[in-house]
Amino acid sequence: MENEDRSVLEIKDLYVQYNTDDAVVHAVNGLNLTLKEGEKLGLVGETGAGKTTLALSILKLLPDKVGEIHSGSIVYKGEDLVDKPESYMLGLRGHRISMIFQDPMTSLNPTKNVGDQVLEVINLHFPELSSAEKAAKVDEMFRLVGIPASRKGEFPHQFSGGMKQRIVIAMALIAEPELLLADEPTTALDVTIQAQILELMRKLKEEFNSAVVLITHDLGVVAEFCDTVSVIYSGRVVEHGTVEQIFEGEDNHPYTKGLIHCIPSLSDTSKRLQPIPGRMPDPRNLPEGCCFADRCPFCREKCKTSMPEPHEKDGHMILCHLYDPKEDGNA
Amino acid sequence: MAIFKKKTKKPLSEYSTGELILFRFKKNKLAMIGVAMFMFVTIMILIAPLIRPYSMVIKQDIVHRLNPPSKEHIFGTDELGRDLLARILYGGRISLFCSLAIIGIAFVTGAIIGGTAGFFGGKVDTILMRIVDMLMSVPSALLAMAIITALGNGVWKLVLALSIGQIARFARMVRSSVLTLRNREYIEAAKCFGSSSWRIIMKHILPNGIGPIIVSATLTLGAVILSISSMGYLGLGVASPTPEWGTIISENKVNIQYFPYLGVIPGICIMLTVMSVNFIGDGLRDAFDPKSKR
Amino acid sequence: MNWLKYALKRILMLIPVIISVTFILFLILSLAPGDVARMVLGQDATEEQVAQLNHEMGLDRPLLIRYLRYMRDALRLDFGRSWTGNFDVLAEFSHRLPYTLLVSFLAIIFATGVGIPLGIASAIKQYSLLDYGSTFMVMLLFSMPAFWLGTMCQLLFCLTLHWLPVSGITNWKNFILPPLILGANTLASMIRMSRTSMLDVIRMDYIRTARAKGGSRRYVTRHHAIRNSLIPVVTQIGISFAGTIGGAVVTENIFAIPGIGTLLINAVKSRDVPVVMGTVIFITIIVGVINLIVDLICALVDPRIDLAS
């Protein structure tokens, strides 16, 4: 685990922005991230924190002309993807890195049958296989995600949401990718279906030993599924550590604390939930100091003027002035 | 304008929906060009008596027949020596006012039929919509011609003939927008508070559903101006010597080869008017629904 | 099998539409004032002769009886004779129909053949010179009356440059300009429609999914976007057909083509009720059938259409 060379993905100082007609939207602002082989990383944050932007940046699928990787590097297995040409990315997408999208209702083509949509991945990346081999692979994948292969000829609208997400997972995993980006794969689904899908992903992850980045705003899902967690706020990782460090440790970024306080507890009904006051800063107009300053209960003068430096202990990183070693006394 | 400029300082989120629509509309250059063009045409048509007395529309002057544009006759004269500018100005009155009347009639009747059908639903809806479907299945140009056959020529008969073809479209549109709005949560909420049907229609459904219908009315206006002139060209509805943009072109047909201005000028008048209306319509559409902007 | 059932159902649904349309038309046309028999016989005829003819034509009967008679005769393919000319309505109609259909189909082919690729190309290359150019063309075409465009083209290509014949039906060259003029408006709506539809589709999530699978931009456009963006456009073709046939009246008038349009316009001017009645009914049926065919094609292409409802 500690061996740096075995990292699958290493993102350094990534800045991504959307250049719209009215303004420049700073979606990702100096983000750092490392993912080791076989690791399951949870990426947590509010809507608009830049989670999906990050995933799309890795695949270089940001919206045309609008989305732009401004600076930084995305090193995947020793290759910096930022300056790789489109032709290189074509071989990567769906084959070595694949993505599961948030809404299974809209991420399948409504006019192609689901078998063909799964088969398409094989056609694109393994054109040398015979049609029989391809069909066998598709059937096997349908079996793995728990859909009878006899339903291959049906169209997306004939499936339920959970079944559609299984098909999307089949598409994402059929080429046995080394890295799977799952963008809120369970958000659009019922709770019972959510559990099934997570279980399926866990099973398939064991089967293919892919590294997984699970993007979500649901801390429960993270605690259940992931090894490590990165908390994202305003396009930066504000805290990173193992699930234990984040959920059971003493020290947390004030934002993470806030998030944890927002989880309702079944056993302890006496405590009221403590919502985080305010909103995330406008990404068109970011503050000078710490982005969380405005909403932080521990905010000081310093927080409003200067960006905090990352503070690290046993691989547990916190980006907050509270943990500055020079400061007197931790919170 | 001035009042509005003062307000631009406050953030966009503080504008009311109406202000936002106006703001977006005013930002749209093509739409503003359309408004200017349309206002120019309307004003010229309204002050026509100041430019040319009505007598010049029919006054024949064989000595000055087929005179090309000159100082005296800016747009030239036709075969009978009539001043083309005068004919276009007064012809515009028919083209423009009739099309406005057609849209008005179709809009009001369509809104009543569609609104009733959508709001009350059930049997009323089924019966009204069957009638609308029937009207829709006849191509509107043919329906208008059948009505002209029955009623004969005449400006108001033409207005009636062309509006019937449009009623069905408006009725459908109003109905579907009422239907989608009727099931919205805030209508449910208003019902729970005990608001009367009338109040719900006037206060909730109308302001929320009117946008797309106004847009469509504006865009249809352009098409109706074209229909009127086509009917005029075919000699239906408005008959010579009453001027109308289409009839002007039709009555000069034989002379166009050697005196092209007789066809070019009235045609450009129609085109610019329709274009201005279409610009306004497109601008309104983008203002009401910024997502539709491409 | 499902599709066949659906097709049969749609065909059966056409029948009440035809019946109600004929009734409405009959009602409208019965408002026509004036003494038809007098019109047919001329001023010299005696009152008795007029009454006699009125009786023969059944015009002294109540409206409903006249309607039922008309429908009975119509079922025997007898749509009556013209009041002003000495011809059978159905015979004259079928004699003229080929010209109108030819010009209309050529117009639709021109409009779709040029409009759809142009619309899709300008969506793919949004904000390019091509896009601005085609948008400008759409604006122009939507603002021009067809009769004016026709007259101007006639002036330019036929009278000035002498490339094409002015009017008539004797030469294949006679069938170049009319379809272009008739199709101009449809062309504009095809460009606009396919552009909007394509822009909608390329913003869809499933297009991004296809890109994420490793398909190149070109591949995804060809295999996912174009087909899906065409579905609403194909429906529009059916709808445009109604407008095209209506527009044929004007085009045939300009180019002196002896089709349905000229027949209808003469009948309307002379208030020849049986001819107007018959012609409008036939055209409505033709338009209805073409729309039906288009809908059936869409049902084959788009699996989302629920054939049961």
Q: What percent of chain B has pLDDT over 90?
A: 34
| Band of residue B10 on the pLDDT scale cut at 50, 70, 90 | low
Taking the C-alpha atoms of residue C226 and residue A80, their distance in angstroms, rounded to an integer, is 33
Q: Where are the domains of chain C?
A: 34-78, 89-301
Q: Is C247 on the interface with B (CB under 8 A)?
A: yes
Please give the pLDDT value at position B245.
Answer: 92
End-to-end Cα, chain B, rounded Å: 27
Q: Where are the domains of chain A?
A: 2-96+175-323
The 8-class DSSP code of residue B83 comes to B
Mutation target among C134, C148, C295 for the B interface, most CBs of B within 10 A? C148
Chain B nearest CA to C301, separation (Å): 24
Taking the C-alpha atoms of residue C281 and residue C70, their distance in angstroms, rounded to an integer, is 12
| Band of residue B1 on the pLDDT scale cut at 50, 70, 90 | very low
Find residues 277-306 of chain C whose CB sits inside 8 Å of chain B: 277, 279-280, 283-284, 287-288
Q: Is C84 on the interface with B (CB under 8 A)?
A: no
Please give the pLDDT value at position A185.
Answer: 87
Asked if C30's CB is within 8 angstroms of B150's CB, the reply is yes
The superfamily (CATH) of domain A2-96+175-323 is P-loop containing nucleotide triphosphate hydrolases (3.40.50.300)
Q: Which two tokens stand for residue B61?
A: 């002057």
Domain of residue B154: give its range. Answer: 27-59+73-292
Asked if B253's CB is within 8 angstroms of C151's CB, the reply is yes
What are phi and psi for residue A264, nearest 5 degrees? -70, 145
Tens-digit pLDDT profile for chain A (331 aa)?
444 457 889 999 999 999 887 788 899 988 999 998 889 999 998 888 888 899 999 999 998 888 889 999 999 988 899 989 999 999 999 999 999 988 888 899 998 999 999 999 999 999 999 999 999 999 999 998 889 999 999 999 999 988 999 899 999 989 989 899 999 888 877 888 888 888 888 888 888 888 999 998 888 888 888 999 999 988 889 999 999 888 887 788 888 888 888 877 777 666 677 788 888 888 888 888 888 888 888 888 888 888 888 888 888 888 888 887 665 444 4
Domain of B118, CATH number, reads: 1.10.3720.10
Query: Which chains border B (3 or more CB–CB pairs < 8 Å)?
Result: C
The minimal CB distance from C205 to the residues A98, A106, A113 is found for: A106
Q: Which two tokens stand for residue A241?
A: 């550590």
Cβ within 8 Å of residue C229, ≥6 positions away: C120, C123, C194, C197, C198, C200, C201, C202
Asked if C196's CB is within 8 angstroms of B294's CB, the reply is yes
* Residue of chain B whose alpha carbon sits nearest to that of C156: B257
Asked if A157's CB is within 8 angstroms of C303's CB, the reply is yes
Asked if C227's CB is within 8 angstroms of A90's CB, the reply is no
Q: Which residue has the higher pLDDT, B97 or A270?
A: B97
User: Which fold is adopted by the domain C89-301?
Assistant: MetI-like fold (1.10.3720)
**B21 occurs within a structural domain:** no
Which residues of chain A are within 8 Å of residue C214 when distances are taken between CB atoms?
90-95, 121, 124-125
Segment C56-112, tens digit of pLDDT: 777 777 888 888 888 888 888 888 888 888 899 999 999 999 999 999 999 999 999
Helix then strand then coil, in percent of chain A rounded to 5, is 35, 25, 40
Question: Quick one: three-class SS letters along chain C?
Answer: CHHHHHHHHHHHHHHHHHHHHHHHHHHHHCCCCCCHHHHHHCCCCCHHHHHHHHHHCCCCCCHHHHHHHHHHHHHCCCCCECCCCCCEHHHHHHHHHHHHHHHHHHHHHHHHHHHHHHHHHHHHCCCCHHHHHHHHHHHHHHHCCHHHHHHHHHHHHHHHCCCCCCCCCCCHHHHCHHHHHHHHHHHHHHHHHHHHHHHHHHCCHHHHHHHHCCCCHHHHHHHHHHHHHHHHHHHHHHHHHHHHHHHHHHHHHHHCCCCHHHHHHHHHHCCCHHHHHHHHHHHHHHHHHHHHHHHHHHHHHCCCCCCCC
Q: Count CB-CB contacts under 10 A for residue B222.
A: 21
Chain A nearest CA to C223, separation (Å): 10
Asked if B274's CB is within 8 angstroms of C151's CB, the reply is no
The minimal CB distance from A157 to the residues C209, C217, C304 is found for: C304
Q: Count CB-CB contacts under 10 A for residue C97.
A: 17
What are phi and psi for residue A286, nearest 5 degrees? -80, 145
A259 closest CA partner among A315, A218, A312, A213: A218
Give A135's Cβ-side CA count (13 Å radius). 7
Regions in chain C scoring below 70 on pLDDT: 1, 33-40, 42, 306-309
As to burial, measured by CB atoms within 10 angstroms (0-12 exposed, 13-18 middle, 19+ buried), residue C70 is: buried
Asked if A109's CB is within 8 angstroms of C210's CB, the reply is yes
**B162 occurs within a structural domain:** yes
Q: What percent of chain B has pLDDT over 70?
A: 93
Asked if A120's CB is within 8 angstroms of C303's CB, the reply is no
Whether residue B264 contacts residue B111, with contact meaning beta carbons closer than 8 Å, is answered with no
Asked if B246's CB is within 8 angstroms of C246's CB, the reply is no
Per-residue burial over B249-260, b if 16 or more Cβ lie within 10 Å, else e, is bbbbeebbbebb
Segment B120-143, tens digit of pLDDT: 888 999 999 888 888 888 888 899
Angle, vertex CA C295, rays to CA C292 and CA C301, nearest 5: 145
Phi-psi region at A189: left, alpha or beta (left = phi > 0; alpha = psi -120 to 50)? beta
Per-residue burial over B199-221, b if 16 or more Cβ lie within 10 Å, else e, is ebbeebbeeebebbbebbbbbbb
Amino acid at A286: L
Asked if B233's CB is within 8 angstroms of C250's CB, the reply is yes
Residue B2 has pLDDT above 60, yes or no: no
As to burial, measured by CB atoms within 10 angstroms (0-12 exposed, 13-18 middle, 19+ buried), residue A165 is: buried
Find residues 92-121 of chain C whose CB sits inside 8 Å of chain B: none
Query: Which chains border C (3 or more CB–CB pairs < 8 Å)?
Result: A, B
Please give the pLDDT value at position B14.
Answer: 64
Query: Strand A67-76 to strand A7-19: parallel, antiparallel, or no bridges (unpaired)?
Result: antiparallel
C21 closest CA partner among C242, C183, C236: C242
Find residues 77-136 of chain C whose CB sits inside 8 Å of chain A: none
The minimal CB distance from C206 to the residues A90, A108, A113 is found for: A108
Q: Which residue has the higher pLDDT, B85 or B194?
A: B85
CA distances from A76 to A1, A54, A63, A199 (A): 17, 14, 21, 27
Q: Which two tokens stand for residue B31?
A: 């739409």
- Judge if the upstream peptide bond of residue C98 is cis by omega within 30 degrees of 0: no
Whether residue A233 contacts residue A49, with contact meaning beta carbons closer than 8 Å, is answered with yes
> Position of tokens 């009975």?
C72
Which residues of chain C are within 8 Å of residue A109 when distances are taken between CB atoms?
206, 209-210, 224, 228
The minimal CB distance from B137 to the residues C17, C159, C267 is found for: C17
Taking the C-alpha atoms of residue C145 and residue C122, their distance in angstroms, rounded to an integer, is 25
Asked if C21's CB is within 8 angstroms of B138's CB, the reply is yes
The 8-class DSSP code of residue A158 comes to G
Chain B nearest CA to C284, separation (Å): 5
C142 closest CA partner among B215, B270, B103, B265: B270
Asked if A121's CB is within 8 angstroms of C214's CB, the reply is yes
Give B167's Cβ-side CA count (13 Å radius). 22
End-to-end Cα, chain C, rounded Å: 15
Find residues 235-274 of chain B whose CB sits inside 8 Å of chain C: 235-236, 246, 249-250, 253, 256-257, 260, 263-264, 267, 270-272, 274
Please give the pLDDT value at position B211.
Answer: 82
Chain C nearest CA to B192, separation (Å): 33
> Position of tokens 């990173």?
A240
Asked if C213's CB is within 8 angstroms of A109's CB, the reply is no
Asked if B150's CB is within 8 angstroms of C142's CB, the reply is no
A222 closest CA partner among A41, A7, A31, A20: A41
As to burial, measured by CB atoms within 10 angstroms (0-12 exposed, 13-18 middle, 19+ buried), residue B126 is: exposed
The minimal CB distance from B230 to the residues C143, C147, C273 is found for: C147
Q: Which two tokens stand for residue C303?
A: 């699996």
CA distances from B125 to A84, B129, B183, B205, C17 (A): 60, 6, 16, 17, 17
Q: Is B218 on the interface with C (CB under 8 A)?
A: no
Query: Which chains border A (3 or more CB–CB pairs < 8 Å)?
Result: C
Which residues of chain A are within 8 Å of residue C297 when distances are taken between CB atoms?
none
Mutation target among B142, B228, B261, B291 for the C interface, most CBs of C within 10 A? B142
Per-residue burial over A89-114, b if 16 or more Cβ lie within 10 Å, else e, is bbebbbbbbbbbbbbbbbbbbbbbbb
Which residues of chain C are within 8 Å of residue A125 when distances are taken between CB atoms?
214
Asked if C280's CB is within 8 angstroms of B146's CB, the reply is yes
Q: Where are the beta strands (DSSP E) in A218-296?
A: 228-233, 236-242
CA distances from C309 to A41, C3, C195 (A): 47, 12, 30
Mutation target among A103, A120, A164 for the C interface, most CBs of C within 10 A? A120
Please give the pLDDT value at position A2.
Answer: 44
Asked if C212's CB is within 8 angstroms of A98's CB, the reply is yes
